[in-house]
Amino acid sequence: MITEFFSIASAVATDPYLLGLSALGTILGILMGCLPGISSTMALAILLPVTYAMSPLAAMVFLMAVFSASVFGGSISAILINIPGTPGAIVTQLEGYAMTKDGRASEALTYSLFSSTIGGIVGLIILMLVAPLVAKAAMQFRSPEFAMTTVFGLTMLAYSTPGSTFRGILSGVIGLLCGMVGFDLVTDVPRFDFGTSALQSGIGLVPLTVGLFGLAEVFRGIEGGVKGARKTPKLGTLVPSFEKVRRLWKTILRGSALGAIIGAIPAAGSAIAVAVSYAQEQRFSKRGNKFGTGVPEGLAGPEAANNACVGGALVPLMTLGIPGDTMTAVLMGALLIHGLRPGPMLFAERPDFVASVYVALFLALLLTVVFGFLLVRHFVRLMRTPDHILLVIIAMLCVVGSFAIRNNITDVYIMIAFGVIGYVMNRLDIPVAPLAFGLILGPILEENLRRSLIISDGSWLVFIERPIALTMLVLSVSALVFPLLQRAKILASNLKR
């Protein structure tokens, strides 16, 4: 793998086309990340169709740049105008905006950029060290193990989504049903197509994700009312204070390690990582009682954790074929479009492509530092774009992106339909992420479940007789039962009162 890494790195470093794609992806990632209302997931979903005509290597270089840079971009709006551009930047605004109000906006942005870069590098190192080991272990997996691992991933997603676990499960079930539209994997009989040939090829991941995460946000923006241009504070001199940054190295390393570990847990996501990191730094810091007033530790730790999640979330995607979060779910769609199925066999059959993922992420981190310092002032000006212009641009990108995949107007209709579904689900406080995961993991679950039952002559004991499959099943059931036990405990204590 080391040989492939340096070979791919040399090829990318000497190829102006790939370098240009990475630079373009980095600029677009920071831009879309800092614009309020455009999350990293939404940025990837909108730009995914652009990679359709690219080679797998070029597509990964571009998308990894968008992925990594948009995570940092989300902190810019959180620091300057108290609006997190991405879910992982929710905690950043607590200390970052307080520093901005205190006239320390440039200092906060420097902390954020430096911490994000170190966190991203730590996440990449952990990805390179852990992923081959997990993939090697996963080579021993058979259909029962893959089926139960998929169930565990869906369960963890439903369990970790905000609000009701039941609503998360409901959303995941809808996604599973959407994944069954089209021809049956075994009998090749069309199902759930409502008699129309347009649905016989199934519901595409790209139009679904663009609708759920893109067009739905447009509808929410229209509902919220159109606002004028935003005012942003002056940045001052963007010269990093290395002495001040040097004092934060323990905080950054703690946040990086925590973010990479939590990111590797299927469906945990960056929002959980930054919240845990913030609480941890508040406990360790000598100024814990002043958190919320502009303490650098409260900014650096979560920012490092946020970017370390990028490498962590790629571990289950690359090794098991299970997306670690919604952003890697979109990346999985990109791999499938280019005929690559994530999983342990990817390491055995395409080690060169795995190495290209590492190189693409490393290059994206380096370019994020460069463009972060050089272009942040211009990105700040773009943040003043009025909402009515921004919403129109997003809607146009959603339509063009959905159509460009297969040049099929049906995909546009599917995108619009799921845009409406996503908007309604948001109004009902039903999480939309499990729906996208269900569409991705549904066919994997069905294929391995049916194959396991065929091999075992229809006996469900095959999932109990195999230790790994049984462990995943127990963990899944525990994740579902635990909330019920908590509610029962609360109810019992209330009755005693």
289-301: pLDDT as tens digits: 777 778 888 888 8
376 or 125: which carries more pLDDT confidence? 125
Whether 54 shows a pLDDT value over 70: the answer reads yes
324-375: pLDDT as tens digits: 677 777 788 788 877 888 877 888 788 888 888 888 888 999 998 888 888 7
The residue range of the domain holding 372 is 2-496
Low-confidence winner among 59-63, 77-81, 363-367, 412-416 (lowest mean pLDDT):
77-81
Arithmetic mean of pLDDT, 30-45: 76
Arithmetic mean of pLDDT, 107-117: 85
Whether 228 shows a pLDDT value over 70: the answer reads no
Arithmetic mean of pLDDT, 403-418: 83
Nearest C-alpha neighbor of 304 from the set 262, 334, 241: 262
256 or 286: which carries more pLDDT confidence? 256
Q: What is the dihedral of CA 427, 433, 475, 315, to 10 degrees?
A: -160
Total Cβ atoms within 10 A of residue 331: 26
Distance in Å from the first CA to the final CA of the chain:
62
Arithmetic mean of pLDDT, 468-492: 79
Nearest C-alpha neighbor of 439 from the set 236, 248, 88, 180: 180
Q: What is the CA radius of gyration of the chain?
A: 22
Whether 149 shows a pLDDT value over 70: the answer reads yes
Q: What is the pLDDT of residue 258?
A: 84
Percent pLDDT > 70 in the chain is: 85
171-194: pLDDT as tens digits: 888 888 888 888 877 777 888 877
- Count how many residues are written for the chain: 497
362-389: pLDDT as tens digits: 899 999 888 888 877 776 666 666 777 7
**Mean of the per-residue pLDDT values of the chain:** 79
Q: Going by C-beta distance under 8 Å and a sequence separation of 6 or more, which residues neighbour residue 20?
A: none
CA distance 21 to 66: 10
38-48: pLDDT as tens digits: 767 778 878 88
Whether 459 shows a pLDDT value over 70: the answer reads yes
Cβ pair 112, 92 in contact under 8 A: yes
Cβ pair 407, 49 in contact under 8 A: no
Arithmetic mean of pLDDT, 265-293: 73
Q: What is the pLDDT of residue 57?
A: 85
Arithmetic mean of pLDDT, 264-276: 69
Q: What is the pLDDT of residue 211?
A: 85
Q: What is the pLDDT of residue 73?
A: 84
Confidence band of 416 (pLDDT split at 50, 70, 90) = very high
Total structural domains in the chain?
A: 1
Q: What is the pLDDT of residue 44?
A: 84
Confidence band of 25 (pLDDT split at 50, 70, 90) = very high
* Three-state secondary structure string covering 301-363: HHHHHHHHHHHHHHHHHHHHCCCCCHHHHHHHHHHHHCCCCCCHHHHHHCHHHHHHHHHHHHH
Q: What is the pLDDT of residue 226?
A: 53
Confidence band of 421 (pLDDT split at 50, 70, 90) = very high
Q: Which of 116-120, 137-141, 291-295 has the highest mean pLDDT?
A: 116-120
Percent pLDDT > 90 in the chain is: 4
CA distance 446 to 429: 28
Whether 276 shows a pLDDT value over 70: the answer reads yes
DSSP run (H or E) holding 416: helix 409-427
Arithmetic mean of pLDDT, 409-437: 87
Nearest C-alpha neighbor of 366 from the set 3, 12, 11: 12
Confidence band of 418 (pLDDT split at 50, 70, 90) = very high
Q: What is the pLDDT of residue 234?
A: 61
Whether 148 shows a pLDDT value over 70: the answer reads yes
CA distance 53 to 55: 7
Residue with tokens 């999983």: 343
Q: What is the pLDDT of residue 62?
A: 92
* Three-state secondary structure string covering 177-236: HHHCCEECCCCCCEECCCCCHHHCCCCCHHHHHHHHHHHHHHHHHHHHCCCCCCCCCCCC
